[in-house]
């Protein structure tokens, strides 16, 4: 019995041991499977990464991590890419074919490789087709397609890394729409699965509040001028809302009280900035898929990239340049720009930087060397290819029209939201705009010394006071506008002639006309909300943000049909009741007056139709969503 018991106990023990062994065996079997799955996923990622140069395919990594992943990938992708080292400058797109391994090959900090300039023919740059990475193909053969890592459900794939380079960015420093775009587009791109770094000058005028948040990221010296003068380049970093802001620090160039002063100072400043931005990317070893340059101040970036930086890591990036305003181009005599930029002789030819007989044009050079050009509306993209709007670059742009695209700007709904806007007397949304607008109107009238009357037709105007903005048209119709039922509020600074004429009108029509000659963000919010209509009668307008903000605040724009104004404001149709505002085509004051009178008629005589338009405008999508998607598509297109 005792023996039986013992046997039974032993049997049970054996059973338990067998179970354990089974479990262990099963676990052992499972482990390699899991490992294999993991490995497969990683390999698949590697494959895609190599193939598309998109290391971030499966993960949302911060900027630094991205670079590191790229490096690891590089190691794994092995020795295949030796030959890419000898990248010939003219085949700039071959740089694209250069796969990750190059990261290992080229010394990152070698930024200002001034000596190693290659002969580049400017306009040839963008045509060559990108190649698939050989390493990528091999990995592909090994892996069954079904094993592909699942894409993140919400984010569009593939991921792209973008470096913005520009001269201003809200809230650090802003003089106009460029500052808004540099702030809002990166944020919108993050939602589109992009990794974004914004490179800006560290102007002394950036408020202390922001300066304090910046963290020292590193520094180096860079040669700049033709005679080899070297300059300090500091990098101060601030990470905010997923966007990495890197400020290029140099007291000598950026210690003015404002971002732009005069060309004599601005030309050296932005030669330095363009080169320092690229050198900083090399220094930080953060090589984006696309470098996105903005306006003439970053115009030399594509030129540097394909010449003096052609043999450095950053040259793997594609380069896009956006025209926010073609009027400003950074033109100066060749010797000055040649001296400050240190660029080689051959870029000063008529297809690239040279303009006329003796000038160099920084923007023109950037347009020539960029892989892709965008501007801020489809209509402006067409217009700038004509002599009237082309600012002497229409032929150059026609030549490069194959790589020119128009994408209209949006506004940042976080920054401009009447329902949460703390600067408004009475925040509102589309459901209560009609009532609340009256309260905002009264508050604005009170604060600006206008007659308080919610029934008055109030026209707002917020603008740089320059010729571009159609202010001579406004000036010439003010007396006809002042009919006792209309008020005009102007907020702006700029040309003296306009500042003075508006001051004159304020004096002549006390209580009905307000000229607030200043730059004042807070007041701007109150005017967008408190006005019924909004003037943007520009001579030319690449996109224009004020009409977008106005519509979003339930204010009806009166605009000239040009550039982005034409693309964003649909004229009111009295028969169908559709549309967003009142428009006119030719640049004539009589037509502005006519459009304004049509607006007034609707306001005073068909208030229901007017109110419907107000609500419609508030509901119109003027966000960055659609446009950020379009930019993303272009980034992907140019890096495929």
Question: In the complex, which residues of this chain contact ligand ADP (CB under 6 A)?
Answer: 176-178, 180, 462-464, 491-493, 519-521, 524, 543-546
Dist CA 622 CA 547 (whole Å): 10
Dist CA 238 CA 235 (whole Å): 10
> Which CB sits closer to ligand ADP, 178 or 287?
178
> Which CB sits closer to ligand ADP, 260 or 519?
519
Residue, CB closest to ligand ADP: 177
Alpha carbons within 13 angstroms on the beta-carbon side of residue 567 total 24
> Which CB sits closer to ligand ADP, 64 or 464?
464
Query: What is the nearest approach in angstroms of ligand ADP to the Cβ of residue 121?
Result: 34
Dist CA 487 CA 474 (whole Å): 13
How many helices (H) and strands (E) in the chain? 23, 18
Return the beta strands (E) in 263-317 as ranges: 290-294
> Which CB sits closer to ligand ADP, 183 or 509?
183
Other C-beta atoms lying within 10 Å of the C-beta of residue 221: 12
Query: What is the nearest approach in angstroms of ligand ADP to the Cβ of residue 411?
Result: 8
* Phi and psi at residue 487, to the nearest 5°: -125, 150
Task: Identify which of 367, 373, 203 has the alpha carbon closest to the alpha carbon of residue 273.
Answer: 203
Q: Which long-range contacts does 466-469 make (Cβ < 8 Å, 24+ apart)?
A: 466/494, 466/495, 466/498, 467/495, 467/539, 468/325, 468/327, 468/538, 468/539, 468/540, 468/541, 469/536, 469/537, 469/538, 469/539
Query: What is the nearest approach in angstroms of ligand ADP to the Cβ of residue 257?
Result: 17
Starting from the edge strand earliest in sequence, which strands make up the sheet with 513-516, in order? 513-516, 486-494, 457-465, 533-536, 556-560, 582-584
Query: What is the nearest approach in angstroms of ligand ADP to the Cβ of residue 296?
Result: 14
> Which CB sits closer to ligand ADP, 156 or 176?
176
> Which CB sits closer to ligand ADP, 177 or 274?
177
> Which CB sits closer to ligand ADP, 170 or 399?
170
Query: What is the nearest approach in angstroms of ligand ADP to the Cβ of residue 562?
Result: 12
Query: What is the nearest approach in angstroms of ligand ADP to the Cβ of residue 549?
Result: 6
Query: What is the nearest approach in angstroms of ligand ADP to the Cβ of residue 304?
Result: 26
Check: CB of residue 297 under 8 Å from CB of residue 330: yes
Q: Which residues contact 212 (CB under 8 A, 6 or more apart)?
A: none
> Which CB sits closer to ligand ADP, 491 or 634?
491
Residue the block writes with tokens 């391994």: 101
Q: Is 212 left (phi over 0), alpha (psi -120 to 50) or beta?
A: alpha
Query: What is the nearest approach in angstroms of ligand ADP to the Cβ of residue 522?
Result: 8
């Amino acid at each position: 019995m005792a023996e039986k018991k013992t046997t039974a106990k032993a049997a049970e023990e054996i059973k338990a041991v067998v179970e354990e062994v089974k479990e262990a065996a099963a676990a052992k079997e499972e482990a390699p499977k899991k490992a294999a799955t993991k490995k497969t996923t990683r390999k698949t990622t590697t494959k895609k990464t190599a193939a598309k140069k998109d290391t971030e395919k499966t993960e949302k990594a911060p900027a630094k991590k991205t670079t590191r992943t790229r490096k690891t990938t590089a190691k794994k992708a092995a020795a295949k890419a030796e030959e890419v080292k000898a990248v010939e400058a003219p085949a700039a797109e071959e740089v694209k074919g250069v796969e990750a391994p190059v990261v290992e090959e080229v010394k990152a900090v070698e930024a200002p490789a001034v000596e190693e300039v290659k002969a580049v023919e400017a306009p040839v740059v963008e045509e060559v087709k990108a190649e698939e990475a050989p390493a990528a193909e091999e990995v592909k053969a090994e892996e069954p397609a079904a094993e592909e890592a699942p894409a993140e459900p919400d984010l569009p794939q593939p991921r792209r890394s973008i470096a913005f380079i520009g001269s201003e960015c809200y809230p650090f420093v802003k003089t106009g729409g460029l500052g808004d775009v540099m702030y809002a587009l990166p944020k919108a791109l993050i939602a589109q699965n992009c990794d974004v770094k914004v490179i800006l000058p560290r102007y002394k005028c950036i408020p202390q509040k922001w300066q304090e948040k910046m963290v020292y990221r590193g520094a180096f010296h860079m040669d700049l001028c033709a005679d080899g003068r070297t300059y300090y380049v500091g990098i101060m970093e601030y990470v905010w809302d997923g966007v990495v802001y890197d400020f290029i620090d140099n007291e000598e160039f950026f210690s003015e009280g404002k971002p732009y002063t005069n060309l004599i100072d601005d030309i050296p400043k932005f030669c330095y900035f363009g080169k320092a931005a690229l050198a900083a990317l090399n220094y930080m070893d953060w090589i984006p898929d696309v470098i996105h340059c903005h306006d003439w101040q970053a115009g030399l970036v594509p030129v540097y990239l394909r010449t003096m930086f052609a043999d450095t890591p950053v040259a793997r990036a594609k380069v896009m340049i956006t025209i926010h305003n073609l009027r400003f181009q950074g033109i100066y005599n060749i010797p000055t720009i040649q001296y400050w930029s240190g660029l080689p002789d051959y870029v000063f030819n008529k297809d690239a930087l040279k303009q006329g007989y003796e000038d160099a044009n920084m923007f023109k050079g950037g347009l020539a060397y960029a892989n892709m050009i965008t501007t801020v509306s489809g209509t402006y993209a067409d217009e700038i290819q004509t002599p009237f709007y082309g600012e002497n670059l229409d032929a150059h742009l026609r030549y490069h029209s194959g790589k020119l695209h128009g994408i209209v700007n949006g506004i940042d709904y976080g920054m401009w939201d009447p329902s949460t806007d703390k600067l408004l007397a009475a925040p509102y949304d589309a459901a209560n705009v009609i009532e609340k607008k009256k309260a905002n109107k009264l508050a604005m009238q009170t604060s600006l010394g206008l007659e308080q009357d919610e029934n008055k037709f109030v026209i707002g105007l917020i603008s740089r006071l320059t010729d571009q903005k159609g202010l001579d048209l406004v000036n010439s119709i003010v007396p006809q506008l002042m009919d006792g039922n209309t008020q005009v509020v102007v907020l702006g600074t700029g040309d003296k002639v306009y500042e003075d004429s508006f001051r004159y009108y304020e004096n002549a029509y006390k209580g009905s006309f307000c000229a607030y000659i200043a730059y004042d963000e807070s007041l701007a919010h109150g005017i967008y909300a408190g006005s019924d209509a909004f003037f943007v009668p520009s001579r030319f307008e690449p996109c224009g943000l004020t009409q977008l903000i106005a519509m979003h605040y339930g204010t009806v724009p009166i605009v000239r049909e040009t550039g982005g104004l034409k693309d964003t404001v649909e004229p009111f149709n009295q028969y169908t009741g559709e549309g967003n505002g009142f428009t006119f085509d030719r640049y004539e004051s009589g037509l502005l007056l006519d459009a304004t009178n049509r607006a007034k008629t609707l306001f005073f005589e068909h208030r229901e139709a007017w109110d419907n338009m107000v609500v419609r405008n508030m509901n119109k999508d003027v966000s960055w969503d659609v446009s950020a998607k379009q930019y993303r598509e272009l980034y992907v297109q140019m890096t495929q």
